[in-house]
Chain A
Amino acid sequence: MAETQKLTKKEKKVLRKQEWQDKLAQEQKNQRLKKIGIWIGAIAIIIASVGGLILFATSSSSPTTPTQTSINVKPISSTDVTRGNKNAKVTLIEYSDFQCPACAAFHPLVNQLLSDYGNKIYFVYRFFPLTNIHQNAMISAQAGYAAYKQGKFWEMGDLLFNNQNDWADLSDPTSVFVGYAQKLNLDVNKFKEDMNSDQTKNFIRSEQDEGNNAGITYTPSFILNGKLISNPTSYDAFKQLIDNELNKK
């Protein structure tokens, strides 16, 4: 009888130990599963957030209507640097700086617009060199204007924007600009002369002053049919704005 009771006690002890070991194993298993779950959860959250961001980026950059503010800029005159059809329904004025990276980023978009819309658009380039933050803004504007005097403003503009990194940080980029003039088969002596002439500098300063007086504070600033538009975030958004103007009665 006593032996049976002793055995039972032993058995109970073994049983308790077994239960405890099972519990421990189960807990360890749960811990492992929890860790795996957390890793899977973290990866899922990251993938979902990337997906969400892509959707958000797509919807936020889809052609919406950027803000349009009335602004009184100087009327277009014969001294302006223009391109396209003077009688077009849409006039786009850009205040720009050749050393401004954002202007360089917008440059292909503007070129694309001009090529897509052809005679339906009248484009005006106005010099607005941000001389207080860009050391070569003024001299590059002078180079642009000197090329304009020989009828190659847009070609020079392409070279200046596309190669902005090559000259932006130079202490004297004149030789680079002269190189561009040679590339465009300009009369180099006249180019140099025009680039440094008082008339060129005064013209650029007058455009700069006029922009400042009108309330232009940043580049590129686009004025579409007399209204300053917030910079479109994509080509489609820009196109949408032009189409809206073209569709107006």
Chain B
Amino acid sequence: MNLIRNNLFQLSAVLGFLGFLDSTYLTIMHYRNVLPPCTLKTGCETVLTSTYSTVGPFPLALLGSIFYLAVIFLSILCLFHYKRLYLRSLVFTVFVGFIVSLQLLLLQIFVIHAFCQYCLLSELISALLLLPAILSKDLLIDKVKEK
């Protein structure tokens, strides 16, 4: 049980790290005032420069970096200092991240009508993060039942 659980936390830490790299790259490019290379011929720049790419003074990518950093931090906490509170926090963070990502994907499809590969990668990672989160949540429920 512990081994499976630890593997799940390792998976979420690795996914969080990949997401962190993606978001941080976009954040750096934003503050350097430079558009990253876009292989999707049309739209990438449209998404990255749209009004939805910032929240107040902050680029959305920076919030993404903070989110993924939180996922890494909570995953390591669960891995080495396991407490139900940490697991709950991890599951909650991942779900919030997924809902925000889903909204951003819908924005690209229905409002901006354009896609950006970096954003799609981040959305994929936040969806994949659900896997360890859902499975660990089951472990959490099992643990409650055991008690």
The interface of chain A, by Cβ under 8 A from chain B, is: 35, 38-39, 42, 45-46, 49-50, 53-54, 56-58, 60-61, 100-102, 104-105, 133, 165, 168, 217-218, 231, 233-234
- Complex CA distance for A38 and B13, rounded to whole angstroms: 12
Further contacts, 17 of them, CB under 8 A, given A231-B35, A234-B34: A38-B76, A39-B76, A42-B72, A53-B21, A53-B28, A54-B28, A57-B32, A60-B37, A100-B46, A101-B50, A101-B51, A102-B49, A105-B49, A168-B51, A217-B41, A218-B43, A233-B34
Q: Contact check, B76 vs A102: say whether CB atoms are below 8 A apart.
A: no
Q: Contact check, A218 vs B42: say whether CB atoms are below 8 A apart.
A: yes
Q: Contact check, B24 vs A233: say whether CB atoms are below 8 A apart.
A: no
- Complex CA distance for A168 and B36, rounded to whole angstroms: 24
- Complex CA distance for A104 and B25, rounded to whole angstroms: 22
Q: Contact check, B46 vs A101: say whether CB atoms are below 8 A apart.
A: yes
Q: Which residue of chain A has its CB nearest to the CB of B29?
A: A57
Give a binary string over B11-50; 1 marks a CB under 8 Å from any A CB, 0 the rest: 0000001001100110011001111110001110110011
Q: A61-B32, A101-B51, A104-B49 are in contact. Are A53 and B80 (CB under 8 A)?
A: no
Q: Which residue of chain B has its CB nearest to the CB of A165?
A: B51
Q: Contact check, B49 vs A57: say whether CB atoms are below 8 A apart.
A: no
Does residue B113 face the partner (Cβ distance < 8 Å to A)?
yes
Residues of A within 8 A of B17 (CB): 45-46, 49
Which residues of chain B (69-116) have a CB below 8 Å from chain A? 69, 72, 76, 80-81, 113-114
- Complex CA distance for A165 and B72, rounded to whole angstroms: 36
Residues of B within 8 A of A133 (CB): 113-114
- Chain B CB count within 10 A is highest, among A53, A60, A104, A234, for A53
Q: Contact check, A234 vs B33: say whether CB atoms are below 8 A apart.
A: yes
Q: Which residue of chain B has its CB nearest to the CB of A58?
A: B32
- Complex CA distance for A231 and B37, rounded to whole angstroms: 9
The interface of chain B, by Cβ under 8 A from chain A, is: 17, 20-21, 24-25, 28-29, 32-37, 41-43, 45-46, 49-51, 69, 72, 76, 80-81, 113-114
- Complex CA distance for A234 and B72, rounded to whole angstroms: 32
Q: Contact check, B46 vs A57: say whether CB atoms are below 8 A apart.
A: no
- Complex CA distance for A217 and B45, rounded to whole angstroms: 14
Q: Contact check, B25 vs A57: say whether CB atoms are below 8 A apart.
A: yes
CB distance from A164 to the nearest CB of B (A): 8
- Complex CA distance for A56 and B36, rounded to whole angstroms: 11
- Complex CA distance for A42 and B14, rounded to whole angstroms: 11
Residues of A within 8 A of B25 (CB): 53, 56-57
- Complex CA distance for A45 and B72, rounded to whole angstroms: 12
Q: Contact check, A53 vs B24: say whether CB atoms are below 8 A apart.
A: yes
- Complex CA distance for A97 and B72, rounded to whole angstroms: 42
- Complex CA distance for A58 and B21, rounded to whole angstroms: 15
Q: Which residue of chain B has its CB nearest to the CB of A134?
A: B113
Q: Contact check, A57 vs B28: say whether CB atoms are below 8 A apart.
A: yes
CB distance from B104 to the nearest CB of A (A): 15
Q: Which residue of chain B has its CB nearest to the CB of A35?
A: B80
Residues of A within 8 A of B28 (CB): 53-54, 57
CB distance from B52 to the nearest CB of A (A): 9
Residues of A within 8 A of B37 (CB): 60, 233
Q: A39-B76, A54-B28, A218-B42 are in contact. Are A105 and B35 (CB under 8 A)?
A: yes
